[in-house]
Amino acid sequence: MSNMKPINILQIEDNPSEVVLMRAMLTEAGAGQFELVSVDRLSEGLRRLAAGNVDLVMLDLGLPDSNGLETFAKVHTQAPQLPIIVLSSLDDESIAMKTVHEGAQDYVVKGENMDARLLVRTIHYAIERNRAEHALAEQHKLLRTLIDNLPDLIYAKDPQGRLFLNNAAHMRFLGATKAEDALGKTVYDCFPKEIADAFFADEQRVIHSGEPLVNREEASIDRTGRRIWVLTTKVPLRDATGKSLGMVGITRDITARKEAEQRQTMHSGVTRVLAESDTLQEAIPRVMQCVCEAMGWDCGQLWRVNLQTSRLHCENVYYLPAQDLAGLDKASHEATFARGAGLLGRVWTDGRAALVSDVVAEADSPWMSAVAKAGLRQGVAFPVGNYRETLGVMVFFSCTVGTMDESLLAIMQDIGRQIDQFIQRKNAEEALEGERTLLRSLIDSLPIHIYVKDTASRFIVVNEEVARFFKVKHPREVAGKTDSDFFPPDLAAQFLAEEQAVLLSGESIVNREACVTGEQGKRRWILTIKVPFRDNHGSIVGLVGATRDITEIKEAEERLREANADLEKSKSELQQSNDQLKAAQLLLFEAEKLHAVGRLAAGVAHEVKNPLATILMGINYLSKSIQSKDENVAIVMEEMTHAIKRADTIIAGLLEFSTPSKMDTKADDINTIVTRSLGLVKHELDKHHIAVERKLGEHLPAVLVDRNKIEEVFVNVFTNAVHAMATGGALTVRTYAKTMDATRIQRDAGNRSGVRLRTGDAVVVIEVDDTGHGIPEDKLLRVFDPFYTTKPTGIGTGLGLTVVRKILELHSGTIELANRPEGGVRATIVLKADRR
Amino acid sequence: MDKKRILLVDDDLAFTRMMKLNLERSGTYEIRIENTGSQAVASAREFKPNLILLDVIMPEVDGGDVAAMLKDDPLLKDIPVVFLTALVSGEENASGGLIRSGYRFIGKLTSEKEMLQCIEEHLR
């Protein structure tokens, strides 16, 4: 031990013999082990202590300047860390024992069996014990400082659940300032019974089972009744023998974290609910449920601004199932709030969320009183809307008191905005959906093939028309397919080539007409538009096409062209009819003129020629009767005869001009003429499906006629018959010869030609029968009048029969029309047979 | 030799008188004048002419009618009839006479020579 530092001992002793004895014993124990300094006064001792370099104090309590316990107290106070051995005499051992209690390491009774070895051991023990004690004290202080500075509640309880140790945080939690206020208390002294029961059960379970309870989150309330969240660990406490000493608990207040989590849960829950809901009606109850469940609140209500009343009306309510809030429900549905009135009115006006920290204290309306009466204690109200407009106010209440702070208000305000955005979004979606539906139904109802294709010409989207055309049930079935799935290979290849050209060049095909061979080889005309389809960056990602079947339009155009052609034809026919009419008119005029002049000439010839004949006869008679010597008489007679001849020549010239000699008459066969005439109207007969029956008599006498004119007569008569049978019928032509009887002869008193049908004349009769609609009896007499017609305008000129009759008159023939008893009309034409 | 009897039917009185004077002057013909068409057949039965000169154009019953009636009468149907007409021109006469419907037509303004020739041709 020689290498060890010597132990510096301060001996405070006023008895010099004791000092000597001490020095001797220490020297005996080992030179150099101890350095002893002795002082005989306390004051001197304290001074030495203050100077330091003292490892141990040996103190006599009875000193000249101090005595008893006071001496120890002064030294201990001066050097509390130093080990002190009290030197006591026999008579004050009890005091010495007290100093040990006060902090002295040991006491030695002077003169009592003290030897050097014992003293040295005592000194060493004192120093070691003192060091250990101080180390322990330091450690304890450290631990204490540690647990007192922890925010967690730390508490130890005995097997009966009584608190026997806790830290500062737990003291604060209990609201205790002194240890006595806290120690010995149980959970029943700190919590309402329901919570206390649960906690006590936990403690007892841990104590008796020895199983720790680690990190359990549990709801609790603080001493103000505010709800808190804690994380608790409870560990059994046992002594070395395994005997239960109780338990130690560590409880951390995680209310802030928990509330942050709750708010987070609520916020994201509301966001999710709004994202999942289709309608406001569906969303609102779910939002309120989500908020109540996440926050542990009991009641939610939505008050909407009613545009008619300009007041807030309660529209939706949500109550936690456990709550009986019938009274509040009634009050809520009876109440309305104007702008600025009460909590809700203020929130409406301000557009800012507001807290109700104490429902009872803030009850400013019957409604709020009902809220208080329902046991609700706290609430938060916030506007549903945006900075422009508040659509309503949402309010939540809770039976328990939780943290309601600015951050909660901010969150609720945001929820209000989210609901508003939801409403706006749904409105927009509804409008968009409406537009989409409209657009889709428009596209689907268009009689046009509309399709979108990708760059490989695969269909992406098509409309109903395309689906119908491809004979698939739904347009979806066309997606992913190509034209080659539906069209013949060559046609599909043609489409693909033109689409690739569009995709490569970016140039559209617009309104291109093409003819394709469709089903059953039918040719179809299609009108095509193909436009490149670009993404937001302008790259071509496909094409949009519209194809329209314009076959019917084309056919209609064709029909229109035909109709136009028909119209042109009709026009030219009309022109022709008009020309014919003019020609007929001219002919009639000519015929009339000829007729009039003929009658005039005949009349004049007759009336003038008779007197001339008489004069000629007279001259003839006189020239033979008068035998005169005068030569002049014969000359006069001769001159007169010449004059009469000259007048006759003039009259003959007039007759030449006016008689039917203008006609190119010759003997002809009537059957040949009839057959030729039928040939001329064959087209008309066929067109109207008219059957022709020829009953032509054999060996008929010839007729002296101008063939062209008589053919004109027949064509006219046949055409009239055709017009009477526009929808078909039968035309019968009959020819026969007969002799005129008296009853059938028409007289023309003004006729001086002397050429007319007479009784006994041999004639050829031509009867033309139709099966048409006949002619009204009252019209029969008028049909030969110029310009009279029973036909619609444009069909007949009204001159046909007039001309016919004139022509026949020129041939001394006749025509009669009569309705046949069996229906239809019979035209009877009579021509004189040629007797020459 | 008996004179040949000719019935002259014409409504023109002056013409018939002048015709009768001219034809009877030669002494070979006996002329009976009938100025009314409707009386022509009765006159013919009574007079029994060898030839009838018949005017075509007469009021009411004209020459054509008279000819037809004569044709229907068994006693008279064989009596030759020559129509007198103001409408036949000289040129027609010259070309051998106009025959229509089997009858000979002769113009009233025909010269005496031609007229007599025509009458002689048709007398029975």
Instruction: Give the tens place of pLDDT for each residue, A311-340.
Output: 999 988 888 776 677 888 888 888 999 998
- From the list A735, A736, A762, A763, the residue with the least C-alpha distance to A675 is A735
Among candidates A606, A652, A836 on the partner chain, residue whose Cβ is nearest the Cβ of B90: A652
Domain residue spans in chain B? Answer: 4-123
Q: What is the pLDDT of residue A745?
A: 54
pLDDT band at residue A766 under the 50/70/90 scheme: very high
Q: What residue type is assigned to position A262 of the chain?
A: Q
Distance from C-alpha of A448 to C-alpha of A579, rounded to nearest angstrom: 50
Q: Which residues contact A234 (CB under 8 A, 6 or more apart)?
A: A202, A203, A206, A212, A213, A247, A248, A249, A250
Cα–Cα distance list, A90 to A93, A105, A107, A109, A236 (Å): 6, 18, 11, 6, 49
Least confident of A405-409, A812-816, B9-13, B120-124: B120-124
Q: Do A758 and B22 touch (CB under 8 A)?
A: no
- Tokens in use for A1? 């031990």
Distance from C-alpha of B116 to C-alpha of A775, rounded to nearest angstrom: 57
Contacts of A616 in chain B (CB under 8 A): 109
Q: What is the pLDDT of residue A2?
A: 47
DSSP-based three-state secondary structure for A666 = strand
Q: What is the pLDDT of residue B94?
A: 47
How many alpha carbons fall within 13 Å on the CB side of residue B9?
Answer: 31
Size of interface A-B (CB pairs under 8 A): 84
Is A248 within 8 Å of A210 (Cβ atoms)?
no
Q: What is the pLDDT of residue A661?
A: 46
- From the list A261, A263, A234, A262, the residue with the least C-alpha distance to A246 is A234
How many whole angstroms from its chain centre is CA A219? 48
- Tokens in use for A606? 């007759």
Which phi and psi angles does A252 have, rounded to 5°?
Answer: -110, 135
Q: Do B86 and A609 touch (CB under 8 A)?
A: yes
pLDDT band at residue A399 under the 50/70/90 scheme: confident
- Tokens in use for A281? 């009606």
Contacts of B15 in chain A (CB under 8 A): 610-611, 613-614, 617
**Percent of chain A whose pLDDT exceeds 90:** 19
> Cβ of A769: how many Cβ atoms within 10 Å?
22
> What is the rounded average pLDDT of the residues A386-409?
84
Q: Do A645 and B90 touch (CB under 8 A)?
A: yes
> Which residues of A fall below an 8 Å CB-CB distance to B?
602, 605-606, 608-614, 616-618, 620-621, 624, 644-645, 648-649, 652, 655-656, 752-754, 756, 758-761, 835-836
Q: Do A652 and B89 touch (CB under 8 A)?
A: yes
Kindly report the average pLDDT of chain B as a whole number: 82
Predicted TM-score (pTM) of this structure:
0.43
Which phi and psi angles does A718 have, rounded to 5°?
Answer: -65, -40
Q: What is the pLDDT of residue A592?
A: 67
Q: Do A610 and B72 touch (CB under 8 A)?
A: no
The Cα of B86 is separated from the nearest Cα of chain A by a number of Å equal to: 5
Q: Got the DSSP string for A347-366? A: HHHH-S-EEES-TTTT--SH
pLDDT digits (tens, 9 = 90+) for A288-317: 999 998 888 889 999 998 888 889 999 888
Bridge partners, residue A796, by sequence = A793
Q: Do B22 and A621 touch (CB under 8 A)?
A: yes
Distance from C-alpha of A491 to C-alpha of B111, rounded to nearest angstrom: 102
Q: Which residues contact A429 (CB under 8 A, 6 or more apart)?
A: none
pLDDT digits (tens, 9 = 90+) for B58-110: 888 888 888 888 888 888 888 999 988 876 654 455 445 566 666 778 888 78
* Nearest-by-CA chain B residue for A747: B60
> What is the rounded average pLDDT of the residues A624-639?
80
Distance from C-alpha of A272 to C-alpha of A287, rounded to nearest angstrom: 9
Is A820 within 8 Å of A769 (Cβ atoms)?
yes
How many whole angstroms from its chain centre is CA A426? 11
B102 at the A interface (CB within 8 A)?
Answer: yes
- Tokens in use for B32? 């009976």
> DSSP secondary-structure letter at B37?
G
> What is the rounded average pLDDT of the residues B30-38?
91
pLDDT band at residue B123 under the 50/70/90 scheme: confident
Is A56 within 8 Å of A85 (Cβ atoms)?
yes
Would you say the C-alpha torsion A260, A264, A270, A271 has a positive or negative sign? positive
The Cα of B25 is separated from the nearest Cα of chain A by a number of Å equal to: 8
Among candidates A606, A756, A761 on the partner chain, residue whose Cβ is nearest the Cβ of B86: A606
Distance from C-alpha of A592 to C-alpha of A603, rounded to nearest angstrom: 16
Q: What is the pLDDT of residue A657?
A: 60
With 0-12 CB in 10 A as exposed, 13-18 as middle and 19+ as buried, what is A504?
A: exposed
pLDDT digits (tens, 9 = 90+) for B99-113: 666 677 888 878 888
pLDDT digits (tens, 9 = 90+) for A156-171: 999 999 999 898 888 8
pLDDT at A681 over 80: yes
Q: What is the pLDDT of residue B121?
A: 85
Please state which CATH number belongs to domain B4-123.
3.40.50.2300
Among candidates B19, B62, B63 on the partner chain, residue whose Cβ is nearest the Cβ of A617: B19
Cα–Cα distance list, A443 to A371, A435, A439, A481 (Å): 56, 12, 6, 20
Q: Do B87 and A609 touch (CB under 8 A)?
A: yes
* Nearest-by-CA chain B residue for A643: B109
DSSP-based three-state secondary structure for A307 = coil
> DSSP secondary-structure letter at A508?
P
- Tokens in use for B79? 């009596």
pLDDT at A345 over 60: yes
Q: Do B68 and A759 touch (CB under 8 A)?
A: yes
Strand ranges (E), chain B: 4-9, 29-34, 51-55, 81-85, 98-100, 103-107
Q: What is the pLDDT of residue A1?
A: 45
pLDDT digits (tens, 9 = 90+) for A414-440: 888 888 888 888 888 888 888 888 888
Contacts of A610 in chain B (CB under 8 A): 12, 15, 86, 108
Q: What residue type is assigned to position A597 of the chain?
A: V
Would you say the C-alpha torsion B111, A754, A660, A667 has a positive or negative sign? negative
pLDDT band at residue A607 under the 50/70/90 scheme: confident
Q: Which residues contact A804 (CB under 8 A, 6 or more apart)?
A: A712, A713, A716, A717, A815
Is A832 within 8 Å of A762 (Cβ atoms)?
yes
Q: What is the pLDDT of residue A767?
A: 93
Give the per-residue SS3 of A510-562.
EEEEEEEECHHHCEEEEEEEEEEEECCCCCEEEEEEEEEECHHHHHHHHHHHH
> What is the rounded average pLDDT of the residues A576-602?
70
Would you say the C-alpha torsion A127, A130, A136, A139 has a positive or negative sign? negative
* Nearest-by-CA chain B residue for A760: B68
> What is the rounded average pLDDT of the residues A132-141?
90
- Tokens in use for B114? 């031609």
ipTM of this complex:
0.81
Find the helix or strand (DSSP H, E) in which A576 lies. helix A551-625
Distance from C-alpha of A317 to C-alpha of A329, rounded to nearest angstrom: 8
pLDDT digits (tens, 9 = 90+) for A2-57: 457 888 999 999 888 888 888 888 888 777 788 889 999 999 999 999 988 899 99
Q: What is the pLDDT of residue A307?
A: 86
Would you say the C-alpha torsion A426, A432, A434, A440 has a positive or negative sign? negative
Contacts of A753 in chain B (CB under 8 A): 87
- The end-to-end CA distance of chain A, in Å, is 198
Best residue of A614, A641, A756 to probe chain B, by most B CBs closer than 10 Å: A614
Least confident of A79-83, A176-180, A261-265, A321-325: A321-325
Kindly report the average pLDDT of chain A as a whole number: 84
pLDDT digits (tens, 9 = 90+) for A802-821: 778 878 887 888 888 888 88
The Cα of B110 is separated from the nearest Cα of chain A by a number of Å equal to: 8
The Cα of B18 is separated from the nearest Cα of chain A by a number of Å equal to: 6
Which tops the pLDDT comparison, A626 or A496? A496
Distance from C-alpha of B63 to C-alpha of A758, rounded to nearest angstrom: 11
Distance from C-alpha of A618 to C-alpha of A622, rounded to nearest angstrom: 6
Among candidates B71, B87, B108 on the partner chain, residue whose Cβ is nearest the Cβ of A760: B71
Q: What residue type is assigned to position A14 of the chain?
A: D
Contacts of A756 in chain B (CB under 8 A): 64
